[in-house]
């Protein structure tokens, strides 16, 4: 008897892993939904392509890739005798598939400018709740896993922990697209070594060197890619230009913007609005990189010199200079820069805040105080990687690296 086309397996050709299959109709329906398709229009690494031209991959790529790794991890755990029901299997896959659904365009810039104080994780929860309503409560398990409220804690650890499928995919993928080979990790070796002990993910001692490589790769990717000083300068500029646009719009200035971008520029949004205002989530779900960049192209001709200067710098890659040091900059030195920039660009005190930015950035490569990467030895003992590793730098990596910077026009 013909099986027809029901439950036909869908396949995505991923440049990192090859063919990724979507074996579940509900998961495919979620991927097909406009809320998820929006992730195709949001670059995974924001403005990093201004330094690494190949880094043009999207959050759609990453979310599907993380789901693929989750599927491999769960199958390995099942193979080793861990009881994971089909419902739990699908729920964990949906939790990782939707873990980044709350990201906006240039997400961290957005979180610090036009929707301040609202993190993408919080918005992801709103999206999950909305999907759950649309799917008649079938995402309840996925939401519990996402929030860490499900009784099998190890499922949440695969979504969010020191060693999760999110990190495993973004390291592999960001390394691949940026061309920074030092960030590449052997994901297959790591996934073949995982197991569950006392409801926590552990990695067999045979995989200890792969774990060391995973942690070291993360450190290298942070300083070479994610916190690269030119990338940081570009992110600070887009944060400031959006802040300026919102300031002008809130003070009655007419600005070119798509309706969805104008929605967020023209009002102060709270997390409650995402839950209770019928327009906030749909508008956010339509906002992407194209809205912001189209506005920048028009704003570079705007009479407001702050808006036009910053927009022009981003569109034409005339980025600010950034100086990074391990010690806090001297106040007199910062004042000297402010005076120089203010004089050269004829800026008043308020405008100067958009042009001279001093702050600090930190990188916590491995944070054992939060949750540990546990190594399982043959005798059954479980030891934190920071203690189990014979590479001394692992313990050093568990301390935060803090760098201070000052950013200003060249």
Query: In which element (H, E) is residue 322 found?
Result: strand 321-325
Q: How confident is residue 6, by pLDDT bands cut at 50, 70 and 90?
A: very low
CATH number at residue 247: 1.20.1250.30
Query: Has residue 387 got a pLDDT over 90?
Result: no
Would you state the pLDDT for residue 371?
A: 80
| Residues 214, 323 share a domain | no
Would you state the pLDDT for residue 25?
A: 92
**Nearest Cα residue to 97 out of 39, 34, 14:** 39
Would you state the pLDDT for residue 370?
A: 66
CATH number at residue 165: 1.10.3210.10
Query: Has residue 191 got a pLDDT over 80?
Result: yes
Mean per-residue pLDDT, 149-153: 97
How high is the mean pLDDT of the chain? 93
State pLDDT tens for residues 214-249.
Answer: 998 998 999 899 999 999 999 999 999 999 999 999
**Of 42 and 108, which is predicted with more confidence?**
42
Would you state the pLDDT for residue 40?
A: 97
What percentage of the chain reaches a pLDDT higher than 70? 95
| Residues 391, 315 share a domain | no
| Residues 271, 138 share a domain | no
Would you state the pLDDT for residue 154?
A: 97
Mean per-residue pLDDT, 119-125: 93
Query: Has residue 100 got a pLDDT over 90?
Result: yes
| Residues 212, 251 share a domain | no
Mean per-residue pLDDT, 87-91: 98
For 174, the domain range is 10-226+369-395
Would you state the pLDDT for residue 1?
A: 35
Does 1 map to a domain?
no
Would you state the pLDDT for residue 121?
A: 92
Query: Has residue 64 got a pLDDT over 50?
Result: yes
Inter-helix orientation angle 305-315/229-250, to 10°: 140
Number of domains in the chain: 2
Would you state the pLDDT for residue 364?
A: 75
| Residues 277, 179 share a domain | no
Q: Tell me the CA distances in angstroms from 89 to 18, 220, 228, one per residue in order.
A: 22, 33, 37
* Cα distance between residue 239 and residue 235, in whole Å: 6
| Residues 177, 35 share a domain | yes
Secondary structure (DSSP) of 2-19: --TTTTPPEEEEETTTEE
Q: How confident is residue 268, by pLDDT bands cut at 50, 70 and 90?
A: very high
State pLDDT tens for residues 299-321.
Answer: 999 999 999 999 999 999 999 99
* Cα distance between residue 245 and residue 306, in whole Å: 9
**Of 402 and 200, which is predicted with more confidence?**
200
Does 403 map to a domain?
no
Where does 80-164 have alpha helices with state H?
86-97, 107-111, 120-134, 140-147, 153-159
| Residues 172, 81 share a domain | yes
| Residues 244, 204 share a domain | no
| Residues 206, 241 share a domain | no
| Residues 146, 55 share a domain | yes
Does 142 map to a domain?
yes
Query: Has residue 171 got a pLDDT over 60?
Result: yes
State pLDDT tens for residues 333-351.
Answer: 999 999 999 999 999 999 9
What percentage of the chain reaches a pLDDT higher than 90? 83
| Residues 272, 386 share a domain | no
**Nearest Cα residue to 293 out of 269, 317, 272, 321:** 317
Query: Has residue 2 got a pLDDT over 80?
Result: no
Would you state the pLDDT for residue 323?
A: 95
Q: How confident is residue 395, by pLDDT bands cut at 50, 70 and 90?
A: low
Would you state the pLDDT for residue 4?
A: 39
Would you state the pLDDT for residue 3?
A: 40
Tokens representing 130 are 């909305």
| Residues 134, 241 share a domain | no
State pLDDT tens for residues 70-86.
Answer: 999 999 999 999 999 99
């Amino acid at each position: 008897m013909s099986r027809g086309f029901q439950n036909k397996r869908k396949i995505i050709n991923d440049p990192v892993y090859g063919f990724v299959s979507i074996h579940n109709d509900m998961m495919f329906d979620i991927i097909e939904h406009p809320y998820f398709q929006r992730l195709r229009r949001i670059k995974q690494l924001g403005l990093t392509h201004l330094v690494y031209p190949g880094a043009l991959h999207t959050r759609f790529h990453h979310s599907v890739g993380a789901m693929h790794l989750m599927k491999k991890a769960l199958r390995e755990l099942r193979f080793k005798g861990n009881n994971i029901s089909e419902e739990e299997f699908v729920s964990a896959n949906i939790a990782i598939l939707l873990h980044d659904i709350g990201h906006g365009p240039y997400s961290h810039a957005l979180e610090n400018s036009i929707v301040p104080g609202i993190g993408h994780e919080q918005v992801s929860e709103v999206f999950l709740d909305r999907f759950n309503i649309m799917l008649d409560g079938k995402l309840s398990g996925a939401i519990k896993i996402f929030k860490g409220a499900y009784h099998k804690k190890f499922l949440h650890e695969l979504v969010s922990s020191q060693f999760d499928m999110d990190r495993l995919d973004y390291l592999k993928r960001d390394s691949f697209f940026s061309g920074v080979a030092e960030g590449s990790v052997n994901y297959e070796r790591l996934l073949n070594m995982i197991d569950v002990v006392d409801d926590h993910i552990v990695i067999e001692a045979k995989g200890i060197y792969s774990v060391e490589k995973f942690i070291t790769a993360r450190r290298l990717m942070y300083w070479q890619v994610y916190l690269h000083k030119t990338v940081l300068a570009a992110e600070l500029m887009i944060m400031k230009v959006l802040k300026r646009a919102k300031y002008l719009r809130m003070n009655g200035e007419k600005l070119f913007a798509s309706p969805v971008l104008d929605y967020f520029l023209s009002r102060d949004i709270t997390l409650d609005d995402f839950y209770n205002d019928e327009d906030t989530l749909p508008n956010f779900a339509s906002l992407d990189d194209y809205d912001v960049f189209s506005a920048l192209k028009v704003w570079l001709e705007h009479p407001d010199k702050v808006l036009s200067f910053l927009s022009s710098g981003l569109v034409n890659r005339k980025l600010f200079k950034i100086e990074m040091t391990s010690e806090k900059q001297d106040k007199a030195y910062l004042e000297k820069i402010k005076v120089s920039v203010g004089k050269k660009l004829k800026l008043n005190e308020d405008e100067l805040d958009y042009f001279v930015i001093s702050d600090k950035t930190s990188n916590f490569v491995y944070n054992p105080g939060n949750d540990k990467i546990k190594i399982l030895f043959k005798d059954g003992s479980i030891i934190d990687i920071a203690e189990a590793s014979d590479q001394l730098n692992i313990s050093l990596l568990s301390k935060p690296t803090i760098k201070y910077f000052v950013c200003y026009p060249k």
